Structure 1
Amino acid sequence: MEFSESVKLARTETGLEYFEVNSPLCQAKIFLQGAQLTEFIPTGKADLMWVSADEDYQEGKSVRGGIPICWPWFGTHENPDWPAHGVARKVVWRAEQVIETAEAVRISLSLPMVMIDDTYWPHESRLEVEFILSDALEVRLTNTNLGNEPFSLTQALHTYLPTSDIKATQVDGLQGAQFIEFGEGPFKQDGIVEFARETDMVYTQAAPVQTIRTPDGVIEVSRENSTSCVLWNPWIAKSKRLSNFQDEEYLGMLCLEAANVLEDIATVEPGQSHTLMTKVRWL
């Protein structure tokens, strides 16, 4: 099935459906399960997404890489029996719109709320995500309150990014932000971040733009309606415990995630919307 000249619906050998984008501006893949983008290759440049070589694309299982959508909570819920990172990553989303112009391909999906157990999310709301694909990648996650009471949530666009050598990779632009790591803090980020151990920093009061210097080039990550972000690399020991993750793959990836967490929690009033946006591009 084709949606535009450059966009068609394809299927993995395991049966998962995804949008396949081959436009003059870029190539991309966006899975309906989880509304998860797993590939974004600007024309003439390298893929901006990282996916594990062990990924097997199974139904009901979030892909290890790309941009999983963590919603309506990030990380471990206070109820330990509830699923980590919420309930949106494993649900098949509904394709809403595909628009192609000379400037961008825009693909919108919505989460069918009938699929979400109201034990986890009892609120009347709509959740949509729009991918704007050009020479850069923009992702816009919009919560709309359709009820009569405000609701609050935490969320993240859990972006896996590539590097050829994590030990030669630096993250600039977090200076001055506060962070919590492994339940300790907050601490103040003083300098450029380098990687020599497991890293799991949850930042608040963060500037809206960071740059990642890799041996392959510089990646810029920016955010809107978000003053929090997460920086993650599992390093050696945790890599051996992760599903769909090879022992040495920590050397070739990192996550820098736009978020609404901790004091940056998102509260949406009745009739209002909140859009978490991230934009990723090669400089």
Structure 2
Amino acid sequence: MSAITTKKHANGLEYVNVDTPLCQARIFLQGAQIEFFQPKNQAPLLWVSSADDYQAGYGIRGGIPICWPWFGMHSNPDWPQHGFARTRIWDLTSTQILESGVELNFTLELNEEDTRYWPHHTQIAIQFILNNTLTVSLINTNLSSNTVKLTQALHSYFPITDITTLKAKGFEGAKYLEFGEGPFKQHNNEVVFNKETDRVYTELGQIQTLETPEGIIEVSRKNSRSAVLWNPWIDKSQQLSRFNAEDYASMVCLEAANVLEDAVILAPHETHTLTTQIRWKN
């Protein structure tokens, strides 16, 4: 028996609770942010810091925050990092329960403050398809007669028992920038972690894997030639909000993105869909 219900967190944020024979999930209306996803008889696929207190106006430190309509810092330093979509209340516009899983669709109506940051006539929606795989699609449509350019990311946090044993694979041949330097060429397929890692990859293949003691997490992307690989390590962890000093050891971010030369350029009335799929491979 499948059930989709709307509930409220103790701190007031509303979320959609999904309980099906194939999986369980929670998606908060603030940011249309999924912060829990667990396929049946398998471990959870998303990580959230125990230091996060689920406060209005702050993206949850974990799950999959939506970075839109820009990734990282804006050229105007007073504007919010990673855009404004992750702190706005989205509308749940449709739900569908199928034998193959559950589909939920959300849209974001821009308010007056949003249009100060983003004065373009565009439509943004996000779709979740939930079964033994998590599929997230961020859909942009240009409703204007002018060309629009944006950057974006699905900022996915993954649970890792011990970051020092993690092997991230699928990176051979790609280019990356790190801490403002590069581009560097990735000559081997594997990335291991023994220091702060903050790489923006371009020219990257569509599938990467995270090899953990619990199994292999497969992360694939569509309409994306860029991705972000991030772990703050020890010193940076002490500077982050809603993040425990030791959290770096149990998480990693691998983010489907459209950044740098992979930015989305939408012609009038054109639609672009960024999709990531996440599953346990074994």
2:177 to 176, 180, 186: 180
**What do residues 4-38 of structure 1 show as CA deviations (whole Å, max 9, x unaligned)?**
94110000011100000110000000000000000
Instruction: Give, in angstroms, the shift of residue 50 of structure 1.
Output: 0.1
How far apart are the structure 2 equivalents of 1:163 and 1:217? 10
Residue 134 of structure 1 is matched in structure 2 by: 131
TM-score, L = length of structure 2: 0.98
| RMSD (CA atoms) | 1.0
> What is the aligned-residue identity percentage?
51
Contact 1:87-1:116 at 8 Å conserved across structures: no
TM-score, L = length of structure 1: 0.97
Equivalent residue pairs, number: 280
Residue 272 of structure 1 is matched in structure 2 by: 270
How far apart are the structure 1 equivalents of 2:113 and 2:220? 30
Residue 244 of structure 1 is matched in structure 2 by: 242
Contact 1:212-1:220 at 8 Å conserved across structures: yes
Contact 2:2-2:21 at 8 Å conserved across structures: no
Instruction: Give, in angstroms, the shift of residue 115 of structure 1.
Output: 5.4
Instruction: Give, in angstroms, the shift of residue 117 of structure 1.
Output: 2.4
**What do residues 121-141 of structure 1 show as CA deviations (whole Å, max 9, x unaligned)?**
011011000000010000000
Instruction: Give, in angstroms, the shift of residue 114 of structure 1.
Output: 2.7
**What do residues 62-121 of structure 1 show as CA deviations (whole Å, max 9, x unaligned)?**
000000000000001111111100010100001100001110100100011235522210
How far apart are the structure 2 equivalents of 1:167 and 1:216? 14
Unaligned runs of 5+ in 2: none
Task: State the 4+ residue runs in structure 1 displaced beyond 2 angstroms.
Answer: 114-117
Residue 165 of structure 2 is matched in structure 1 by: 168
Contact 1:96-1:110 at 8 Å conserved across structures: yes
1:76 and 2:73 matched: yes
Residue 156 of structure 2 is matched in structure 1 by: 159
Q: Which amino acid aligns with 1:181?
A: E
Residue 258 of structure 2 is matched in structure 1 by: 260
How far apart are the structure 1 equivalents of 2:86 and 2:254? 18
**1:92-241 matches, cutoff 5 A:** 92-114=89-111, 116-191=113-188, 192-241=190-239
Matched residue of 2:204: which SS? coil
